[in-house]
Amino acid sequence: MASRILASGARALSSPAAFRPVRSFQTSAQRLADAAPLPPRKPVGAFRGGLFGFLLGTTLAGSGVYYYVLQEYKASNELLMEDIYTLQQATQRMSNYLGTLEEKVETMERKGK
């Protein structure tokens, strides 16, 4: 008895009507005729893409280095200018001091004569 139930169930599963889809996925000829084809894509080759990426990366890296070097140059230039002004002031003070010493030596020589 069990074999009869299994045999009838196996026959029902093997028939094509058991796997018939509920909805068919077909389109009409009218809908296919209305569809416009997509424009052909122009492929970007590996050489062109690689060259463009290389040039873009080089330009960005070069501009970054340029601005970094420019900032470092400005900072070192400011420090150098401060040192020059300090040296100029020290030289001016030394010149004034030597001038006063020369005047004192001259006055001492006049008094000694």
Q: pLDDT digits over 17-62, tens only?
A: 555 556 666 666 666 666 677 777 776 666 677 888 899 999 999 9
pTM exceeds 0.85 for this model: no
With a pLDDT cut of 70, the percent of the chain lying above it is 63
Helix/strand/coil (H, E, C) string of the chain?
CHHHHHHHHHHHHHCHHHHCCCCCCCCCHHHHHHCCCCCCCCCCCHHHHHHHHHHHHHHHHHHHHHHHHHHHHHHHHHHHHHHHHHHHHHHHHHHHHHHHHHHHHHHHHHHHC
Confidence of residue 89 (pLDDT cuts 50, 70, 90): very high
Query: Is the pLDDT confidence value at 110 over 80?
Result: yes
